Chains A and B, each alone.
Chain A
Amino acid sequence: MKYLSEYRNPEMVERYIEEIGKIATKNWTIMEVCGGQTHSLVKNGLLNLLPEKVQMVHGPGCPVCVTPINLIDKAVYLAEEKGVILCSFGDMLRVPGAKKSLLEAKASGADVRILYSPLEAVKLAKENPQKEVVFFAVGFETTAPANALSVIHAQREGLKNYSILTSHVLVPPAMEAVINDETAVIQGFLAAGHVCTIVGISEYYPIAEKYNIPIVVTGFEPVDLLQGIYMTVKQLEEGRNDLENQYSRVVKPEGNPEAIKVIEKVFQVCDREWRGIGTIPNSGYELRPEFAEFDANIKFSINIEKVEENKECIAGLVLKGVKKPHQCPQFGKKCTPLNPLGAPMVSSEGACAAYYHFSQISDSE
């Protein structure tokens, strides 16, 4: 608990806000990459405390938001048509697919379970040998080791009824895609602390160098975020483009070698479609061919139509930081957490949901 209270210290927050105000002489636009950071900034009311010169835009780091609609439909299909036990992290359940969400599938009788760890799904597979168990393996580098480990465990146990429906995404290629987008205006990044805890920080040096952009690996508590912002603004003011690590109490430069080993054993890098953004080359993980028997995509013949996203949803622009959630004409009107047009309004990490839940703008009138 000590880490919680220390990094939520009101005096420290006040001091950093003051310091940022002192050093910022020009207008700067900084993107926090991770949805968890967005959530914390909004929930703690930090956006209103920052000086006007420092604008935060919200990045694509919300795994639920960027999982393609097609994959949700596949998960629903597996649960409803193939009679599998479909296991998922909680916040995937409410994300709308083309016809329905997993929560709606559950309501109409599909066996959909909320789990915290894919290893629980392996346990379920062991306990239910007559049923197929599929884990919906989404997420960034953060959840990849556990998902990979579940496959290794299933293999070791000789389980034939466990597979994963994977849609892993990777942060660095997404940051490059955001920088390369012609509409983007980002001058500095707060990189996602949890992701770097797993894979380390080495991948970010080339990005900082190639695009002349400061990157600060940052944590999630109020003081973490303000420290990260302070370090980024300082670099910008001094004309530096370095990679720095604010979250050094958790993130080691080399990451977690054991976790990386597990990921590399099970997954290989592939092109990946991002909901609202499109296909980004080398931006995801898929199972290596030697683990094909654990790939739900291969194991089951999944016949579903590919559908278009709702045209009124500007999720892509929000995820790239081009638009803020409340700049969307449908925000809080046609699109609410109860009737979401797109995924960012659903996930607790989604920028639209964060704005909706915690900002002054509300539908209470």
Chain B
Amino acid sequence: MDNKIQMQLQCPMPKLDFDVITLGHGSGGLLTNRLLDSGVFDLLKNDLLDERHDGAFLNLEGRTAFTTDSFVISPIFFPNNNIGELAVNGTVNDLAMCGAIPKYLSLSFILEEGLTMKEFWEVLVSIKFACEKAGVQVVTGDTKVVEKGKGDKIFINTAGIGTVHPKANISIKNIQVGDSVIISGNVATHGIAIMSIREGLRFDTDIESDTQPLNHAVLALIEKFGTQIHLLKDPTRGGIASVLNEIARDTKLGIDLVQKNIPIDEQVEGACEILGLDPLYVANEGVFISIVDSSIAENYVQILQTLPEGKNAKIIGRMVENHPKQVLLQSNIGGKRVVNMPIGEQLPRIC
């Protein structure tokens, strides 16, 4: 059985005398305590959290990475997943991209009045699931409630701390001409999964979000390849086009991409065609881009492909001296085109 379903069965919602979140649950008073005591603390239980102090006391050694991210996705539930797992994986992955071992998270909710306890509980169970999968602990948090109409069901902020792997040296300054650009898996899956259930765009598909923690795969690669990994990035909003454009801009180098090497699920590709979207600009959650020394590229991809997170890994391009600050794509039919920075959100076309 799917671990996720198993966890939901193991963590049934406690019996409560309220069904929906109201303003009082964010007041800091009795109702807040009742909400938290209803099982939130039990669900995310660990020694640091159980102190229930204003903040957590941590003992960290060596270089430390620190990051934060906010999650405002709509709708909050999407195929096979929800905002809770996303909120953990997002921050875990940002730490992994620093070459760090994610350790502790903070977890802040902004709930909209009227959110049902059932929905909130489901999100909490997903958070627990994601934390266990990534091997991190929630050690401090906060809950606020805003009036109906002032939020969108639930907003989550997570911050995360991790210790940098001693063999890691991730920096854009390490990138050199000739470096290989590697993607760990299929592009555009998450964005299309979300789009498939948005109001007005609904279409039938079994595409699921690819959100997953990437820290285990990344750390295995760092352990093996160390400083030959020059940069790691997770191409979330704006897709791989945005991330690669940022890299080209900051290194003042060019990037040559080969379209036929960019892995994409056939259904996702079809959906992009129908919606008039360019998959290079569609959001990802469970993939990362690596810029590595070209001497290790083949080996790196082979190892990545043996890991569950990297089955579809491919070398998709390389850093070049020509056309500085520009990303060029060799199209499947032999033409070349510029891949620009996206302007804003991609909007579906008329026809």
* A residues neighboring B (CB under 8 Å): 1, 4, 8-10, 13-14, 36, 42-46, 48-49, 63-64, 87, 89-94, 113-117, 120, 138-140, 142-143, 194, 222, 337-338, 347-349, 356-360, 362, 364-365
Contact call A46/B335, Cβ cutoff below 8 A: yes
Q: Which residue of B326, B338, B347 contacts A90 across the interface (Cβ within 8 Å)?
A: B347
A-B contact pairs, 15 of them (CB 8 A): A44-B335, A45-B335, A45-B337, A46-B335, A90-B349, A91-B350, A94-B347, A114-B347, A139-B351, A142-B351, A222-B333, A337-B343, A349-B349, A356-B340, A364-B249
Contact residues in A for B199 (Cβ distance below 8 Å)? 113, 120
Q: Is the interface of B mostly helix, strand, loop or mixed?
A: loop
Inter-chain CA distance A123–B343, complex, in Å, is 31
Inter-chain CA distance A90–B346, complex, in Å, is 9
Quick one: closest B residue to A357, CB to CB?
B340
Contact call A8/B347, Cβ cutoff below 8 A: no
Contact A14:B340 (CB < 8 A) given known A90-B348, A90-B349, A348-B349 = no
Q: Does B80 contact A (CB under 8 A)?
A: no
Inter-chain CA distance A185–B333, complex, in Å, is 30
Contact residues in B for A43 (Cβ distance below 8 Å)? 331, 337
Q: Which residue of A117, A139, A359, A365 contacts B325 across the interface (Cβ within 8 Å)?
A: A365
Quick one: closest A residue to B260, CB to CB?
A10
Q: Which residue of A8, A138, A337 contacts B333 across the interface (Cβ within 8 Å)?
A: A8
Inter-chain CA distance A222–B333, complex, in Å, is 8
* B residues neighboring A (CB under 8 Å): 199-201, 248-249, 266, 269-270, 273, 275-276, 323, 325-326, 331-338, 340, 343-344, 347-351
Contact call A114/B348, Cβ cutoff below 8 A: yes
Contact call B332/A10, Cβ cutoff below 8 A: yes
Inter-chain CA distance A46–B333, complex, in Å, is 9
Closest-CB distance, B323 to chain A (whole angstroms): 8
Inter-chain CA distance A325–B276, complex, in Å, is 22
Contact call B350/A139, Cβ cutoff below 8 A: yes
Closest-CB distance, A227 to chain B (whole angstroms): 13
Q: A44-B331, A362-B338 are in contact. List 15 more A-B contacts (CB 8 A).
A: A4-B269, A4-B273, A10-B332, A91-B350, A114-B347, A115-B200, A116-B200, A116-B275, A117-B200, A139-B351, A142-B351, A337-B343, A349-B350, A356-B340, A357-B338
Quick one: closest A residue to B340, CB to CB?
A357
Contact call A91/B331, Cβ cutoff below 8 A: no
Contact residues in A for B323 (Cβ distance below 8 Å)? 360
Contact residues in A for B332 (Cβ distance below 8 Å)? 8, 10
Contact call A45/B336, Cβ cutoff below 8 A: yes
Inter-chain CA distance A93–B332, complex, in Å, is 31
Inter-chain CA distance A365–B199, complex, in Å, is 40
Which 7 pairs show the lowest CB-CB distances between chains A and B?
Answer: A45-B335, A90-B347, A90-B348, A115-B200, A358-B337, A89-B350, A364-B325
Closest-CB distance, A320 to chain B (whole angstroms): 21
Quick one: closest B residue to A47, CB to CB?
B335
Contact residues in B for A139 (Cβ distance below 8 Å)? 350-351
Contact residues in A for B201 (Cβ distance below 8 Å)? 114-116
Closest-CB distance, B197 to chain A (whole angstroms): 13
Inter-chain CA distance A143–B350, complex, in Å, is 8
Contact residues in A for B343 (Cβ distance below 8 Å)? 337-338
Inter-chain CA distance A120–B325, complex, in Å, is 42
Quick one: closest B residue to A360, CB to CB?
B338
Closest-CB distance, A96 to chain B (whole angstroms): 13
Inter-chain CA distance A36–B276, complex, in Å, is 10
Closest-CB distance, B8 to chain A (whole angstroms): 31
Q: Which residue of A10, A94, A362 contacts B334 across the interface (Cβ within 8 Å)?
A: A10
Inter-chain CA distance A364–B351, complex, in Å, is 30
Quick one: closest A residue to B337, CB to CB?
A358
Quick one: closest A residue to B323, CB to CB?
A360
Inter-chain CA distance A357–B201, complex, in Å, is 25
Contact residues in A for B337 (Cβ distance below 8 Å)? 42-45, 358-359
Contact A91:B348 (CB < 8 A) given known A8-B332, A120-B200 = yes
Contact call B336/A63, Cβ cutoff below 8 A: no
Contact A93:B273 (CB < 8 A) given known A46-B335, A113-B200 = no
Contact residues in B for A222 (Cβ distance below 8 Å)? 333
Contact call B347/A93, Cβ cutoff below 8 A: yes
Contact A36:B326 (CB < 8 A) given known A4-B273, A8-B333, A364-B249 = no
Quick one: closest B residue to A361, CB to CB?
B338
Closest-CB distance, B207 to chain A (whole angstroms): 15
Inter-chain CA distance A167–B344, complex, in Å, is 26
Quick one: closest A residue to B335, CB to CB?
A45
Inter-chain CA distance A87–B344, complex, in Å, is 20
Contact call A362/B350, Cβ cutoff below 8 A: no
Closest-CB distance, B242 to chain A (whole angstroms): 14
Inter-chain CA distance A222–B334, complex, in Å, is 11
Inter-chain CA distance A114–B275, complex, in Å, is 12
Quick one: closest B residue to A349, CB to CB?
B349
Closest-CB distance, B41 to chain A (whole angstroms): 39
Inter-chain CA distance A1–B323, complex, in Å, is 34
Quick one: closest B residue to A63, CB to CB?
B350
Q: Which residue of A1, A89, A349 contacts B348 across the interface (Cβ within 8 Å)?
A: A89
Contact call A63/B351, Cβ cutoff below 8 A: yes
Inter-chain CA distance A36–B266, complex, in Å, is 22
Contact residues in B for A92 (Cβ distance below 8 Å)? 350
Contact residues in B for A360 (Cβ distance below 8 Å)? 323, 338
Closest-CB distance, B186 to chain A (whole angstroms): 15
Closest-CB distance, B229 to chain A (whole angstroms): 26
Closest-CB distance, B96 to chain A (whole angstroms): 29
